[in-house]
Amino acid sequence: GPIAPFADVAKVLTYVHSYGVPWSKLAVAEPLYAYNWTVNKNGSIAVNASGRNISATTLNATQVSASKKQWHKEKIENGETEYTYTRAGQKHIVWDASSALKTEMAWLKRNYPQIGIDASTIGNADPTGSALAVTALGS
């Protein structure tokens, strides 16, 4: 999926196509999830008592939609949105890849109209979010 700048996605698509793979056999998976990191006061990934980085948790599109009204929008890059919030004195950064769905789909349809577009989730199923994505993808 295009969890990369558009230029990098274009390079990969062109590279695969250069091996004779027809455009009609290619598909790009659009992300429908977000990563939630616990960070320290400097904005770096927080560590646990053992000194190991605290892993990011994944949020599905439904969870993001239900919570983002309470978060502070920091920036938008390539259509993806970064939010911050503090809970129990601990700062969090949420990078919402699913917010770029419309932007990424438009770019793909404009530049690679022959390829397929799929929805991609991580971890647990998200029937509500997936149904919305399928609708947005025009299926």
pLDDT, tens digit (0-9, with 9 covering 90-100), for 74-123: 998 877 889 999 999 899 999 888 788 888 888 889 999 999 887 776 55
Which three-class secondary structure state does DSSP give residue 129? helix
DSSP codes of every residue in 42-99: TSSBPB-TTSPBPPPEEEEHHHHHHHGGGSEEEEEETTEEEEEEEETTEEEEEEEGGG
Q: How confident is the model at residue 124 (pLDDT cuts 50, 70, 90)?
A: very low
- With a CB cutoff of 8 Å and minimum separation 6, the contacts of 81 are 73, 75, 95, 96, 99, 100
As to burial, measured by CB atoms within 10 angstroms (0-12 exposed, 13-18 middle, 19+ buried), residue 117 is buried
Report the C-alpha dihedral over residues 118, 2, 131, 123, rounded to 10 degrees: 100
Query: Do 72 and 52 touch, CB atoms closer than 8 A?
Result: no
> CA-CA distance, 111 to 53, in Å (whole number)?
39
What percent of the chain clears pLDDT 90, i.e. is strictly above it? 28
Better-scored residue on pLDDT, 128 or 5: 5
The per-residue pLDDT for 1 is: 44
Cα–Cα distance between 27 and 105 in angstroms, integer? 12
The pLDDT, as a whole number, for residue 125 is: 53
Sign of the torsion angle spanned by Cα atoms 10, 12, 18, 23: negative
pLDDT of residue 128: 59
pLDDT at 34: 86
Find out whether 66 and 59 touch, Cβ atoms under 8 Å.
no
